[in-house]
Chain A
Amino acid sequence: MSAPAVDAEGLVKRFEEETALDGLTFSVEPEEIFGFIGPDGAGKTTLFRILTTLLLADEGSARVLDLDVARDFWALRARVGYMPGRFSLYPDLSVAENLAFFASVFGTSPAEQEDLIGPIYSQIEPFRDRRAGALSGGMKQKLALSCALVHRPEILFLDEPTTGVDAVSRREFWDLLGRLREQGLTIVVSTPYMDEASRCDRVALIQDGRLLGVDAPGAFGARYGHPLLAVSGSDRRHLPEILRSWEHALSAYPFGETVHLTDRRADLDPRRAAVQVQDYLAARGVPDAEVRPIEPGIEDVFIARMGSGGVEPPAGAAADPGAGEAS
C-alpha cells in the first residue's frame, strides 16, 4: 500500500496570542483532489505554508510524499507545486519571462514540460509579451498555475485559486484541475466557495483552525441528523425571521431562492415536518408557501457544525448562535 500523499498529525500554529491552527489531523490519498473549505481566517493559508515547507508548525508533524516537511524540506521543494493565494509572480516580467524564470530555477524549460502545461499555457500564450502585472485576474491565475506546474510536481497546493473569480471562470478552472488529476497529480486546494466542494474527491471543512469534518462531498448530508426543508413563498425578505419563530425551528437561513429550515426534532419524518411548516406559515399569513424536504448540502452542514461549535447538532439543542446574532 502506498503512503498517503499528505499525512498530518496534530498540527498547531500560534501567532502571538492567536491560534491559527488548533491541532489538525488528516491525510490526503495519492491522486485525489482534496479541498479545504472554509472562510477567510480559518487557517487555510497557514496550513498550506506549513505543508509546502515555508513555515514551521509549533506542534505536531506532517509528511508530504512521505517526506517530513520540517526536516526534508530541500528534497520536498523540488516535488511540490505551490500557488499562493496572493498573486506572487513578478509583475514587471512578461508572461513568457515569468514562466522561463520559474522553469530555470528548477533546472528545466517550458518546452520540456509542454505536455503538462501546454493546455493551460496556450490560453495565455497570445499575451506572452505582456507584463504579468497587466494581466486580467483570470489570466494571472492561469499563468500562476503554469508556473506552479513547470517543474512537474507530484503534488500541487493551490491556496484559494478561485477567490474573487467569476462563477464561469471558476467552473473552467475546476475543469482544468480535473484534467491534471487524471494525469496523476495529487491536488490539495482551498476555497471559501462551498459550491466548489462537489468538484473535490474529499473535502475538509475548516473554521477557526479546526476541522469540522472530513469526507466525500456527498457523504456529509447523510449524517445531518435533522429534517431539512426548503421553503419558498412571497415576502421572502421576512421568511427566515418568520420561520425562526416556529416552535420546532433549529435554524432558518436563506439559500438562493429558498430558505433552508432545520427542524430541531431529530427523529421526525421530513414529510410530516413539511406539512406542519405549511400549516404554520398559513396561520402566519403566508398562504402560498412551498415546503419540500431536501438533502443537506455542504453549506447546510458547514452552518450546522459552525453553529454548534463543531459537533453535530444534538436533538433539542438551543437555536444556534448564528441565528440568534442576526435578530
Chain B
Amino acid sequence: MSAGEQRAAGSSAPPGSHGAAAIEANGLTRRFGDFTAVDAISFRVERGEVFGFLGANGAGKTTVIRMLTGLLSPSAGEARVAGHDVYGDTEAIRRSIGYMSQRFSLYEDLRVRENIQLYGGIYGLPNRTIRERGNRLLADLGLEHAADELVASIPLGWRQKLAFSVATLHEPEILFLDEPTGGVDPITRRQFWEMIYRAADGGTTLLVTTHYMDEAEYCDRISIMVDGHIRAMGTPRDLRAEYGVASVDELFLHLVRPTDPTTPADAGGGS
C-alpha cells in the first residue's frame, strides 16, 4: 500500500479496509481482578503498515501486546493476528510473529552467530536456511567481522540492529517492537527506523511502541491509549489537524492530561 493511499484515508477508517488485516481486535478486554487493564478496544492494522502503539505508562499497552502475541488470554472480545485467533491458535500466532524489546533481545554471553543459530533453531528453520539467512543478515548489517564476537562486546547500537534482524530471521508477517530504540544514540535510532521502513516495504507489518514522540511521526498510523481505552487513532497528520496541535507530543499531553492547559504546567511559577 502506498503512502499516498494512506494519506487519502480518513483518520477513523484505516487504509484499504478490505481483505484480511494483519491485526484485528474487536472489544478486546483484559481484567485483573477488579481492575480492567484493557477495556473493549477495537482496532485494525493493515498488512505492510507501520503502526505506532502509544500510551502513558500503565495505560494497558503491554497487556494488549501480551494478548496479541498469545502470551495472555483475553477476558472478553476477539482478536486475530495474521488471521489466527488469539484464544485458540497461539502456536500459529507465535510462528507468524517476531518480537523484540529493549529489555530482552539477544543473549549477551553468546557470540553473534550463536545467537542467530539459537533463534533460527527456536523458530524451527532448517540449518541450511539459518546459515544462508544468517550470512545475508550479517552482510546487510556490515557485521561479518563481528560474527564470532560475544554480543556483550559489540556496541549497543549494533546490538539493537542485530536484535531487530534476528527477530525477522523467520520472515514473520508481523513484528512487535516494544520500545526498540530506548537509550539508543540518535544516529542509530534513525538507522533503526530505516530498517523498520525496509521491512514494511517488504510487506512486513510492524507494531511499535516508543516514548520518543518524534518517532510517532514516522508511523503510518498511531493509536494513543489512555486508561485502557484507545483515545485517538489515525495518521499523525490527520490527528494533528483534527486536534489542532502542532505535534504528536502535544496531542499526547492533551489526551493523557486533559485537565492541563496545552502549555506545560508551571504551577511552581518563577523564572
- Tell whether A and B belong to one assembly: yes
Residues of A within 8 A of B (CB): 38-42, 136-138, 163-172, 175, 178-179, 182, 192-195, 207, 234-237, 240, 253-257, 299, 302-303, 306-307, 320, 322, 325-326
Q: In the complex, what distance in Å separates the CA atom of A165 from the CA atom of B190? A: 20
Identify the 7 closest CB pairs spanning chains A and B, nearest first: A322-B187, A39-B185, A40-B183, A179-B268, A256-B214, A256-B217, A166-B56
Known interface pairs A39-B157, A41-B155, A172-B265; A194-B183 also in contact (CB < 8 Å) = no
CB of B201 within 8 A of CB of A207, answer: no
CB of B197 within 8 A of CB of A164, answer: no
Q: Which of B84-92, B131-139, B251-259 contacts A (4 or more CB under 8 A)?
A: B251-259
Q: Which of A168, A178, A236 contacts B252 (CB 8 A)?
A: A168
Known interface pairs A40-B156, A254-B190; A166-B142 also in contact (CB < 8 Å) = no
Known interface pairs A163-B183, A254-B218, A303-B187; A175-B58 also in contact (CB < 8 Å) = no
CB of B249 within 8 A of CB of A167, answer: yes
CB closest residue in chain B, given A40: B183
Is B117 part of the contact surface with A, judged by Cβ < 8 Å? no
A201 to chain B, nearest CB (A): 12
B140 to chain A, nearest CB (A): 11
- Name the B residues within 8 Å of A40 (CB-CB): 156, 183-184
User: Can you give 29 A-B contacts (C-beta < 8 A)?
Assistant: A41-B155, A41-B156, A164-B102, A164-B211, A166-B211, A167-B211, A167-B249, A169-B56, A170-B211, A175-B265, A175-B267, A192-B183, A193-B211, A193-B212, A194-B186, A236-B218, A237-B3, A253-B190, A254-B193, A256-B217, A256-B218, A256-B247, A256-B248, A257-B236, A257-B237, A302-B186, A303-B186, A322-B190, A325-B191
CB of A182 within 8 A of CB of B194, answer: no
Known interface pairs A166-B256, A234-B4, A325-B142; A175-B268 also in contact (CB < 8 Å) = yes
B205-235: which have CB < 8 Å to A? 211-214, 217-218
CB of A178 within 8 A of CB of B268, answer: yes
CB of B187 within 8 A of CB of A306, answer: yes
- Name the A residues within 8 Å of B183 (CB-CB): 39-40, 163, 192
Residues of B in contact with A, size category: 35 or more
Q: In the complex, what distance in Å separates the CA atom of A302 from the CA atom of B55? A: 27
Q: In the complex, what distance in Å separates the CA atom of A98 from the CA atom of B219? A: 42
Residues of B within 8 A of A (CB): 3-4, 7, 55-58, 102, 142, 155-157, 179, 182-188, 190-191, 193-194, 197, 200-201, 211-214, 217-218, 236-237, 247-249, 252-253, 256-257, 264-268, 270
- Name the A residues within 8 Å of B264 (CB-CB): 171, 175
Q: In the complex, what distance in Å separates the CA atom of A40 from the CA atom of B142? A: 22
CB of A168 within 8 A of CB of B247, answer: no
- Name the B residues within 8 Å of A179 (CB-CB): 268
With contacts A234-B4, A237-B3, A299-B186 known, what are 5 further pairs, Cβ within 8 A?
A40-B156, A138-B58, A170-B211, A256-B214, A320-B187
Q: In the complex, what distance in Å separates the CA atom of A322 from the CA atom of B192? A: 12
